[in-house]
């Protein structure tokens, strides 16, 4: 196995565990709502608290990865989310579950920008973006595993056992410790590491202010729509009149469309470029979101949901590939984490607003139209502020 494929596989499996936990949360929201008699707003807060942890994790551990190295921070964040996930299986009520979801988010939020930065710095320029999109494709596999666990395990054995399964990811830290390089190629070339304050001043300097502004807008809008839609997807199907078991089954079908979305984006991104692929897939996301809101029968719901999964997750892969290419090595993980952290504010707002909208009887057409509009704003930011990075060497 080549160095690139080995690194992709090892970090991709860590990515899979992250996705499995986030995917499980969308199903857990349905289960804990029924078990604890929660309101729509309380359910929305579970997703939002998770995103608060994700934001702080990305901000904190992205900066620490530039200071302490990619590998130790990757292992540490994996342990945080795995241990908190296992403990949450024993939560006795809403409040303690919220606290543990925060710590799960903290670990997840830190791991994602560190993993994508690590891979970006160890892959040749001509295959870098494709490799990172393929890294993102492990997210779809994680969601698929979460969907299958939820469909077969939760109705028969309860939601707590699924959290114990995700906690086993802690043991994967041993694999990362053995097979991930101690320093990335780019890290080894840094003579002096700037302080955290110096790194943040640099990403907002005249040299990088334009791409920082663009990325923060795009990450915010993409996360606002993604978490607002996908964390609530099983709940929305229940609200549309389907049973919990049937809703879980339909989400499994929709999730299957994520993999071809990733693979298509991975194939196109070295041919069309980052901006073209990202804007195309985001436009498809906007149209699919509106279509899902108007879907009135199961056939239309499944078609719109599969298109939404295809385009939205393909866009995610392109965004993860694009972001680290816009900054130099000494600030790359910091900038990557900061963009994701700001985006997590959208991940907080999306699920919370959807819960409020449902509680006030807003129509699905209006709700999913708002998510579609958010994605259009992201497209405008890319077209007006972004620049193409295809074939660019990163130092």
CB proximity list for 112: less than 8 A, separation 6 or greater: 15, 18, 58, 340
What mean pLDDT is reported for the chain?
Answer: 85
Is the pLDDT reported for residue 177 higher than 90?
A: no
Q: Measured between alpha carbons, how far is 88 from 101 in angstroms, rounded to an integer?
A: 8
Pick the residue with more confidence: 133 or 241? 133
Is the pLDDT reported for residue 233 higher than 80?
A: no
What pLDDT is attached to residue 144?
82
* Domains of the chain by start residue, with CATH: 3-183+195-385 (1.20.1250.20)
Is the pLDDT reported for residue 362 higher than 80?
A: yes
What pLDDT is attached to residue 190?
52
CB proximity list for 74: less than 8 A, separation 6 or greater: 11, 14, 65, 111, 114, 115, 118, 176, 180
* Most confident stretch, 81-90, 105-114, 215-224: 215-224
Provide mean pLDDT across the span 317-330: 90
Is the pLDDT reported for residue 178 higher than 80?
A: no
pLDDT band at 376 (very low <50, low <70, confident <90, very high): very high
pLDDT digits (tens, 9 = 90+) for 14-65: 888 888 887 788 788 888 888 899 887 888 788 778 878 988 998 899 888 8
Provide the percentage of residues in the chain whose pLDDT is more than 70: 94
What pLDDT is attached to residue 36?
92
Is the pLDDT reported for residue 316 higher than 60?
A: yes
**Residue whose C-alpha is closest to residue 225's, from 42, 375, 363:** 375
What pLDDT is attached to residue 181?
66
pLDDT band at 244 (very low <50, low <70, confident <90, very high): low
What pLDDT is attached to residue 119?
84
DSSP state of 195: P
Is the pLDDT reported for residue 184 higher than 60?
A: no
pLDDT band at 395 (very low <50, low <70, confident <90, very high): low
Q: Which residue has the tokens 């998510």?
A: 371
Provide mean pLDDT across the span 68-79: 86
| pTM of the entire predicted model | 0.80
DSSP state of 113: H
Q: Which run of H or of E encompasses 338?
A: helix 329-359
CB proximity list for 332: less than 8 A, separation 6 or greater: 66, 117, 120, 121, 186, 324, 394
Provide the percentage of residues in the chain whose pLDDT is more than 90: 29
Is the pLDDT reported for residue 90 higher than 70?
A: yes
pLDDT digits (tens, 9 = 90+) for 247-290: 777 777 887 888 899 999 999 999 999 999 999 999 999 999 99
pLDDT band at 125 (very low <50, low <70, confident <90, very high): confident
DSSP state of 325: G
What pLDDT is attached to residue 274?
92
Q: Measured between alpha carbons, how far is 127 from 117 in angstroms, rounded to an integer?
A: 15
What the block records as the tokens of 300 is 């239309």
**Residue whose C-alpha is closest to residue 227's, from 86, 340, 98, 117:** 340
What pLDDT is attached to residue 212?
95
């Amino acid at each position: 196995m080549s160095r690139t494929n080995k690194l992709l596989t090892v970090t991709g499996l860590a990515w899979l565990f992250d996705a499995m936990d986030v995917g499980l949360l969308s199903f857990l929201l349905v289960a804990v709502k029924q078990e604890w008699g929660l309101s729509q707003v309380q359910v929305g807060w579970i997703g939002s608290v998770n995103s608060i942890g994700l934001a702080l994790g990305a901000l904190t551990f992205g900066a620490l990865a530039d200071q302490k190295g990619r590998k130790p921070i990757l292992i540490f964040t994996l342990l945080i989310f795995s241990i908190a996930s296992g403990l949450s299986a024993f939560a006795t009520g809403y409040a303690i579950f919220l606290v543990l979801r925060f710590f799960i988010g903290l670990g997840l939020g830190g791991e994602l920008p560190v993993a994508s930065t690590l891979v970006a710095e160890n892959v040749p320029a001509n295959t870098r973006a494709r490799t990172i999109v393929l890294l993102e494709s492990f997210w779809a596999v994680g969601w698929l595993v979460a969907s299958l666990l939820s469909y077969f395990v939760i109705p028969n054995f309860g939601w707590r056992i699924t959290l114990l399964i995700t906690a086993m990811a802690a043991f994967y830290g041993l694999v990362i410790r053995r097979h991930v390089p101690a320093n990335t190629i780019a890290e080894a070339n840094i003579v002096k590491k700037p302080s955290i304050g110096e790194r943040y001043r640099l990403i907002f300097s005249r040299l990088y202010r334009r791409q920082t502004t663009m990325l923060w807008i795009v990450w915010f809008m993409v996360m606002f729509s993604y978490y607002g839609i996908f964390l609530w997807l099983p709940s929305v199907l229940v609200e549309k009149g389907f049973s919990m078991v049937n809703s879980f089954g339909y989400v499994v079908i929709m999730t299957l469309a994520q993999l071809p979305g990733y693979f298509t984006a991975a194939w196109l991104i070295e041919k069309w470029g980052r901006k073209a692929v990202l804007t195309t897939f985001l436009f498809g996301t906007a149209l699919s979101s509106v279509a899902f809101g108007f879907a009135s029968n199961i056939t239309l719901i499944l078609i719109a949901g599969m298109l939404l999964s295809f385009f939205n997750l393909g866009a995610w892969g392109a965004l993860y590939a694009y972001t680290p290419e816009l900054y130099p090595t000494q600030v790359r993980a910091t900038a990557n984490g900061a963009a994701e952290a700001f985006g997590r504010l959208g991940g907080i707002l999306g699920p919370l607003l959807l819960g409020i909208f449902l509680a006030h009887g807003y129509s699905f057409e209006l709700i999913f139209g708002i998510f579609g509009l958010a994605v259009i704003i992201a497209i405008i930011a890319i077209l007006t502020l972004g620049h193409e990075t295809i074939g660019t060497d990163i130092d």
